[in-house]
């Protein structure tokens, strides 16, 4: 195979395993549909994974065969050598159906081995099985003898410990390894190689290749590494498509475009699995919670100093509904200067699809570098250790995958998990333990009328209806206790509406809103959720003395 120097890590791993004889069959999955940066003696260029295998990893193999359901079995290299195969006349046309094609490949591999055995001139053979998930998929409910036969042959190749010694290599290419038949995907002798999204160096190299082809889009741009660092998490294919469209329209790419571009490209690659948020607010935008903000700012300063040993793996923001848990997470990300990834529609009804979606999300997180993963309503989203009777074990598998990813210590200082829930008691205990969620922060409603007035005053000011000190003092007796930011937001919106519909004075509008105020959530429910949040807190200083006294009341 190719020399390992200057290859990406996944390709280096293939070379190391093959040259050492540890593996001759490789299952390539993950970012297999992307464009690949190929550094060749004649210069760098972009190509498909198939091109990368042929030109970069397998240039020394005399015969390279490929198969996919669309084009059938083909000879990618070494047509003249392959034509000397005596059984070729018997074969007739190159087979297009999976089972005949796999059997033909198996016969040719055996023929090449026999040449070595009798001392004839050896032939090195590589096989590339593209889109393997289409013809050797996860086992269906009914018995399929053809599928079983294909899986059995492919497994026999993977179990052959002499493939490398015989000058043979087999590559199975699939979008997700979880989409493959378990006989193939669970073969311990086959090398599982995940192709990640491109790193900053590969993106910068792709930009260098595209610069001459997209001169108007990249006009005046020379620092490709800086741009690549801002676009981490995107695929080369998505970046190339964007630049070609931009070049066609004659618009140059500017620094101001990079944030929106990254969001658009990442969300396009991820489909509807995530929301990608570039926060535009900081912890200074959070009203109150001074103790919490101090602790979070200290952690972020450690993050900037790369003191990752002192950083938590994750936070749990818990408290009654409407207390601003989501808003706090966005402000935390804005303070850190990193993007927020919000998990959304990753659950699917098809067998294996939910797990494949999670694998895709995890690959994206690893490519983004530093980011915050926000999981709202975590008690519902994260699954359970024990599945219900109607989900075929999906919930428990989701739980296991998330638990493993959250506790991966290699992610410390790179991926920060932030969970939010008004019912943290319903989250599995294992997911809340130290090493996954190290800091549990309770968030409570305002405990005094003064705190409530500060919150209302700030929200009214944001809507252009500021209140002077005299107005705030006169309205103080009307401010309800245990006011949540959500409820305060509703009061401020109502007051703003009144100023536009006949009550122009801000103080009068807010007074009318307060006089007609009814709690949007039953106070008994708010108190119960406050009690749960207080019990979850990792530090006693997170629970104000007023809250502690209130919860002690009968």
Nearest to residue 508, comparing CAs of 458, 477, 474? 474
Indicate the Cα dihedral angle 216, 222, 224, 226, nearest 10°: -120
Encode burial over 206-242: b for 16+ CB neighbours within 10 A, e otherwise.
bbbbbbeebeebbeebeebeebbbebbbbbbbbbbeb
pLDDT the model gives residue 220: 80
Query: For helices 353-368 and 394-406, what crossing angle results, to 10°?
Result: 20
Per-residue pLDDT reduced to its tens digit, 145-195: 899 999 999 999 988 888 988 999 999 999 888 889 999 999 989 999 999
Lowest mean pLDDT among 200-209, 222-231, 355-364: 355-364
What is the mean pLDDT of the segment spanning 248-261? 80
- Structure-model confidence comparison of residues 350 and 417, the more confident one: 417
Nearest to residue 321, comparing CAs of 463, 554, 528? 528
276, 361 in Cβ contact below 8 A?
no
pLDDT the model gives residue 487: 92
What is the mean pLDDT of the segment spanning 33-37? 93
If you classify domain 9-195 with CATH, what class do you get? Answer: alpha beta
What is the mean pLDDT of the segment spanning 329-357? 78
Question: Does residue 4 carry a pLDDT above 60?
Answer: no
pLDDT the model gives residue 83: 93
E strands within 69-216?
A: 72-77, 125-129, 168-173, 191-195
- Return the DSSP state at 330: H
Phi first, then psi, for residue 421 (nearest 5°) are -165, 140
Q: Which two tokens stand for residue 455?
A: 């919150």
- Structure-model confidence comparison of residues 539 and 272, the more confident one: 539
Nearest to residue 479, comparing CAs of 498, 503, 495, 461? 495
What is the mean pLDDT of the segment spanning 459-467? 92
Residues with Cβ within 8 Å of residue 5, at least 6 apart in sequence: none
pLDDT the model gives residue 54: 95
- Cβ-based neighbour number of residue 9 at 10 Å: 12
pTM for this model (two decimals): 0.71
pLDDT the model gives residue 386: 66
**Mean confidence (pLDDT) of the chain:** 88
Encode burial over 84-123: b for 16+ CB neighbours within 10 A, e otherwise.
ebeeeeeeeebbeebeebbebbeebbebbbeebeeeeeeb
pLDDT the model gives residue 307: 87
Question: Does residue 427 carry a pLDDT above 80?
Answer: yes
Question: Does residue 415 carry a pLDDT above 60?
Answer: yes
Fold entry, domain 277-442: Rossmann fold (3.40.50)
User: Euclidean distance between the first and final Cα of the chain, in Å?
Assistant: 75
Q: Which two tokens stand for residue 484?
A: 């949540």
Q: How many residues does the chain have?
A: 554
pLDDT the model gives residue 168: 95
Question: Does residue 358 carry a pLDDT above 90?
Answer: no
pLDDT the model gives residue 103: 95
pLDDT the model gives residue 390: 57
- Structure-model confidence comparison of residues 254 and 214, the more confident one: 214
- Cβ-based neighbour number of residue 452 at 10 Å: 26
- Structure-model confidence comparison of residues 220 and 348, the more confident one: 220
| H runs (alpha helix) in 369-393 | 378-381
The whole-angstrom separation of Cα 57 and Cα 128 is 12
Lowest mean pLDDT among 31-45, 67-81, 98-112, 397-411: 397-411
């Amino acid at each position: 195979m190719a020399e390992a120097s200057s290859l990406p890590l996944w390709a280096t791993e293939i070379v190391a395993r093959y040259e050492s004889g540890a593996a001759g069959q490789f299952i390539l999955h993950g970012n297999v549909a992307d464009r690949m940066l190929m550094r060749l003696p004649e210069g760098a260029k972009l190509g498909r994974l198939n091109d990368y295998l042929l030109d970069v990893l397998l240039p020394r193999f005399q015969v390279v065969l490929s198969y996919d359901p669309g084009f059938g079995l083909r000879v990618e290299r070494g047509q003249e050598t392959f034509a000397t195969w005596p059984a070729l006349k018997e074969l007739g046309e190159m087979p297009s159906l999976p089972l005949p094609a796999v059997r033909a490949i198996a016969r040719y591999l055996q023929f090449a081995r026999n040449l070595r055995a009798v001392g004839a001139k050896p032939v090195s053979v590589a096989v590339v099985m593209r889109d393997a998930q289409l013809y050797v998929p996860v086992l269906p409910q009914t018995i399929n003898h053809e599928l079983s036969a294909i899986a059995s042959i492919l497994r026999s190749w993977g179990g052959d410990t002499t493939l490398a010694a015989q000058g043979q290599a087999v590559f199975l290419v699939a979008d997700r390894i979880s989409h493959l038949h378990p006989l193939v995907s669970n073969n311990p002798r086959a090398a599982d190689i995940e192709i990640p999204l491109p790193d900053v160096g590969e993106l910068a190299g792709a930009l260098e290749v595209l610069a001459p082809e997209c001169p108007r889009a990249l006009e005046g741009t020379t620092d490709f590494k800086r741009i690549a660092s801002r676009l981490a998490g995107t695929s080369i294919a998505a970046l190339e498509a964007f630049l070609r469209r931009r070049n066609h329209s004659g618009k140059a790419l500017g620094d101001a475009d990079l944030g929106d571009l990254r969001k658009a490209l990442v969300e396009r690659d991820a489909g509807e699995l995530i929301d990608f948020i570039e926060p535009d607010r900081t912890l200074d935008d959070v009203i109150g919670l001074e103790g919490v903000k101090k602790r979070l700012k200290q952690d972020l300063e450690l993050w900037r100093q790369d003191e990752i040993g002192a950083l938590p793996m994750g936070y749990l923001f818990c408290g009654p509904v409407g207390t601003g848990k989501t808003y706090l997470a966005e402000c935390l990300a804005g303070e850190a200067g990193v993007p927020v990834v919000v998990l959304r529609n990753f659950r699917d009804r098809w067998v294996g699809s939910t797990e494949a979606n999670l694998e895709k999300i995890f690959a994206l997180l690893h490519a983004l570098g530093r980011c915050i993963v926000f999981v709202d309503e975590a008690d519902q989203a994260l699954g359970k250790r024990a599945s219900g009777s109607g989900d075929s074990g999906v919930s428990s598998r989701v739980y296991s995958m998330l638990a493993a990813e959250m506790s991966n210590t290699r992610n410390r200082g790179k991926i920060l998990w932030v969970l939010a829930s008004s019912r943290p008691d319903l989250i599995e205990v294992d997911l809340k333990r130290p090493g996954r969620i190290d800091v549990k922060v309770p968030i409570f409603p305002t405990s005094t009328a003064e705190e409530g007035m500060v919150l209302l005053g700030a929200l009214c000011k944001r809507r252009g209806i500021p209140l002077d000190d005299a107005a705030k003092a006169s309205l103080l007796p009307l401010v309800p206790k245990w006011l949540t930011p959500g409820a305060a937001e509703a009061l401020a919106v109502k007051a703003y509406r009144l100023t536009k519909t006949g009550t122009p004075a801000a103080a009068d509008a807010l007074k009318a809103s307060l006089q007609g105020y009814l709690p949007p959530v039953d106070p008994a429910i708010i108190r119960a959720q406050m009690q749960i949040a207080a019990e979850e807190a990792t530090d006693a200083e997170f629970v104000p003395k007023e809250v502690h006294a209130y919860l002690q009341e009968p």
